[in-house]
Amino acid sequence: REPYVVTSKGHTAVAINAAAKAGEWIKSRQGLVKELNTKTSAQDLVTEVDKGVEQMIRRLILTHYPDHAILGEEGVSPGAAAATAALEEAREHEYLWIVDPVDGTTNFVHGFPFYCVSIALVIRGELTVGVIYDPIRDEMFVAEKGKGAYMHGVPTAVSTEDVFGDSLIAMGFPPDREFAQPVNMAGLQSILPQIRGIRAGGSAALHLAYVAAGRVDGYWEVGLSPWDCAAGVLLVLESGGRITDTLGRPYDIGTRHIVASNGHIHEYLVSSLKNAEATGYKL
Ligand code: 2AM
Ligand code: CA
Ligand code: CA
Ligand code: CA
């Protein structure tokens, strides 16, 4: 395929260019990681690539918009509490960029080719731009509030599937096992028997992009942070889909437990998760 050509302007162009440059760098470093460290647990990984790429994206954004705020995963202390506190501070800013330099670090480390760069812009509390770039497939997903969502200039649309039994659903297993594992096991037990299949690729952002593009019919995951979801949420909404938390309540930038779908099968997912022995977690 031809390289992605930036036809957008302003904020969106800056986000696309940053995601493209970051993605190229990440791909060039696959298999060459020098510093592999852990954060909250042995499953929660970070490399010099995550940190370096985040710095690069910061520089690119600040070159254009020196007074904008940037909330990036690797600029925040590990763990859910620190993420929530950082968001509370960050959301005061009029222009807030939310950056996940590598979404799918475990995949990147293992050479499993399913990871992406995720960049969102929130203006006065409203999700305005969302860009997700998959450097392996060279797929650039772009959403602009009120203007739709595109992949390489072609509009993306959620699937039209309205039969839960014929649905392909994605989910995620975040590394915080103590918290997420009981929820995931119960959710899986409730949902898998009702549907066509489950996929768990290990990148929250890319799964959201796949809901937007109609490649899966729905997706759920608990224990996420703003940088995992923000860009993908706008992609899904601008592609005609629906986003709530796992109890069916409206999405907010601080929502950690997320359900995304084409809209048609949304209630099946939410009610299955409610029915699961999955209600022990705090929203
Ligand atoms: P990451 O690769 O950017 O860290 C996998 O199910 C998803 O969970 C990925 O999107 C991954 O993002 C995210 N994730 C990674 N560490 C996490 C953590 N400590 N808590 C919650 N989610 C995490
Ligand atoms: Ca991480
Ligand atoms: Ca992430
Ligand atoms: Ca990350």
Mean pLDDT of 202-226: 97
At 195 the pLDDT is 98
Residue 37's Cβ-count burial label (10 Å; 0-12, 13-18, 19+) is exposed
CA distances, 153 to each of 7, 105, 135, 189, 236 (Å)? 9, 28, 17, 39, 16
Query: What pLDDT is stored for residue 105 in this prediction?
Result: 98
Please give the model's pTM, rounded to 2 decimal places: 0.96
Angle between helices 266-275 and 177-191 (to 10 degrees): 120
> Alpha-carbon distance 125 to 8, whole Å?
22
CA of 65 to the centre of ligand 2 (A): 26
CA 66 to chain centre: 25
The pLDDT of residue 227 is above 80:
yes
Q: Cβ(105) to ligand 1 under 6 A?
A: yes
- Cα distances from 172 to residues 20, 77, 95, 237, in angstroms, run 25, 22, 30, 20
User: What are the tokens at 279?
Assistant: 């209600």
Give residue 114's pLDDT.
98
Mean pLDDT, the chain, integer = 94
Ligand 1 pocket, residue 104 CB under 6 Å:
yes
Whether ligand 1 lies within 6 angstroms of the CB of 54 is answered as no
Report the distance separating Cα 201 and Cα 26, nearest Å: 18
By most ligand atoms within 8 Å of CB, the mutation choice from 203, 207, 227 for ligand 1 is: 203
| Range of weakest confidence among 45-59, 173-187, 204-218 | 173-187
Q: Where in the chain is the domain with CATH 3.30.540.10?
A: 10-155
Is residue 181 scored above 90 in pLDDT?
no
The verdict on the CB of residue 202 being under 6 Å from ligand 1 is yes
Look at 80 and 116; give whichever has higher pLDDT. Answer: 116
The answer to whether 217 and 210 have CB atoms below 8 angstroms apart is no
For the Cβ of 172 lying below 6 angstroms from any atom of ligand 1, the answer is: yes
pLDDT at 9 over 90: no
**What band does 182 get if pLDDT is binned at 50, 70 and 90?**
confident
pLDDT tens digit sequence for 81-136: 999 999 999 999 999 999 999 999 999 999 999 999 999 999 999 999 999 999 99
pLDDT at 283 over 80: no
Who's near 245: CB < 8 A, 6+ residues apart? Answer: 251, 255, 256, 257, 258, 259, 283
Between CA 151 and CA 155 the distance in angstroms is 6
Asked if CATH classification 3.40.190.80 holds for the domain at 164-275, the reply, yes or no, is yes
For the ranges 44-58, 174-188, 208-222, the lowest mean pLDDT is seen at: 174-188
Residues contacting 268, CB < 8 A, separation 6+: 164, 167, 194
> Residue 138: which residues within 8 A CB-CB, separation 6 or more?
1, 3, 4
């690069």: which residue's tokens? Answer: 56
Q: What is the pLDDT of residue 255?
A: 95
Spell out the residues 6+ positions from residue 156 whose beta carbon is closer than 8 angstroms to its own.
141, 149, 150, 212, 213, 214, 235, 239
The residues of the chain that CATH labels 3.40.190.80 are: 164-275
Average pLDDT of span 58-76: 97
> What's the topology of domain 10-155?
Fructose-1,6-Bisphosphatase; Chain A, domain 1 (3.30.540)
Answer yes or no: are the C-beta atoms of 22 and 68 closer than 8 Å. no
Count of beta carbons in the 10 Å neighbourhood of residue 277: 12
